A = this chain, B = another copy of it.
């Protein structure tokens, strides 16, 4: 269902030949209206890919009619030619749909530092336009995969309106945003300011807290398009909750498909003085390679959790810290707690609770273990 679950959207996913292996690599999502509302959130990496620079620009009007996405090349660090290529891609979409290029967002994913094969991409846009369909959401989700082993979609429907979406991402997953492309659609009848507010609120506590490998992408893009085709204007709270649910679901799918991972690790920081403290501590734990290796080895090595907490600026007293791993409080008051032999780590999900004993705020960061498979996959990716 994906991006075509909501009324007023068509999509397509095709093989344009950008990927040498012939897999699908080009997706097109079109809002058929009646409204063209849109909001977007992009990577905070200061080295931004050409499609990010373009899409940020066109989104300033708060409206989009189409999104074109390609895998097989990130079009990042490609200089003026890379930006020209993004512009030409948007112009091509505008031409075949008979709209303006300023209504077209572009998103790209794949290797950094390589120019896109425009001789394949531009004919691909024509082909995709011919295959646009109200049932094309699944194919679009498949076409944006890179090292993803599965495609990721999510849909929430209630009271006659729908929020649906697709995501890709398996490596370079880190905050602000997790590395990924996401397109969400809705047929709710809402203005762009409301879309923007709901999208930012949702990504702040979902994608922004997915930190698989600490590496922030140059291409992260999350777009939300609203057609208004349901004719229903839900309350902000109901709509924001639906957007958050879809983002959370897609974020979880990203973590579960992270490159080389054998464990999904939920790092829950509790009793922090501020939410910022909780996030800082959660990220520090989630990025500690030694801990991530220990979790891979099913070793409840809480000393590495404390060591990670100690590198932060968050408010805490070392001798009041508590840590639970899978429900066993292995560290109490900064020292040895319950018997670590009681920690059962056989399952894929691992739950770490870090109690800062410094307040009442909380945050949850999701990460993965560090494995030989991750090393293998990422030492061979560009070859």
Contact = CB atoms under 8 A, between A and B. Distances in A.
Nearest to A213: B289
A274 interface: no
B296 A334 contact: no
B336 A113 contact: yes
Given A172-B290, A336-B79, A383-B297, A218 B310 contact: yes
A172 B216 contact: no
Interface stretch (A86-94, A119-127, A373-381): A373-381
A343 B217 CA distance: 24
B307 A379 contact: no
A164 to B, nearest CB: 30
A321 to B, nearest CB: 8
Contacts of A77: 302-303, 306, 331, 334-336
B378 A79 contact: no
Contacts of A215: 288-290, 304, 307-308
Which of A289, A304, A318 has the largest count of B CB atoms less than 10 A from its CB? A289
A137 interface: no
Interface residues of A, number: 66
Interface string A356-383: 0000000000000011101111111111
A196 to B, nearest CB: 24
B381 A307 contact: no
Interface string A287-322: 111100110110101111011111110001011010
A156 interface: no
A76 interface: yes
Contacts of A112: 301, 303-304, 306-307
A307 B115 CA distance: 17
Contacts of A299: 379-383
A46 B375 contact: no
A111 interface: yes
A378 B288 CA distance: 12
Contacts of A382: 294, 299, 301
Copies in the complex: 2
Interface in A148-202: 171-172
A228 interface: no
A214 interface: yes
B294 A378 contact: yes
Contacts of A46: 309-312, 316, 318
Contacts of A81: 335
A344 B294 CA distance: 34
Which of A115, A171, A334 has the largest count of B CB atoms less than 10 A from its CB? A334
A7 to B, nearest CB: 38
Contacts of A331: 77, 113
A289 to B, nearest CB: 5
A78 interface: yes
A48 interface: yes
A307 B218 contact: yes
Interface string A113-157: 111000000000000000000000000000000000000000000
A215 to B, nearest CB: 5
A47 interface: yes
21 contacts: A45-B311, A47-B321, A74-B303, A76-B306, A77-B303, A81-B335, A112-B303, A112-B304, A112-B307, A113-B303, A114-B336, A213-B290, A214-B287, A215-B304, A215-B307, A218-B303, A218-B306, A293-B379, A296-B375, A301-B382, A370-B375
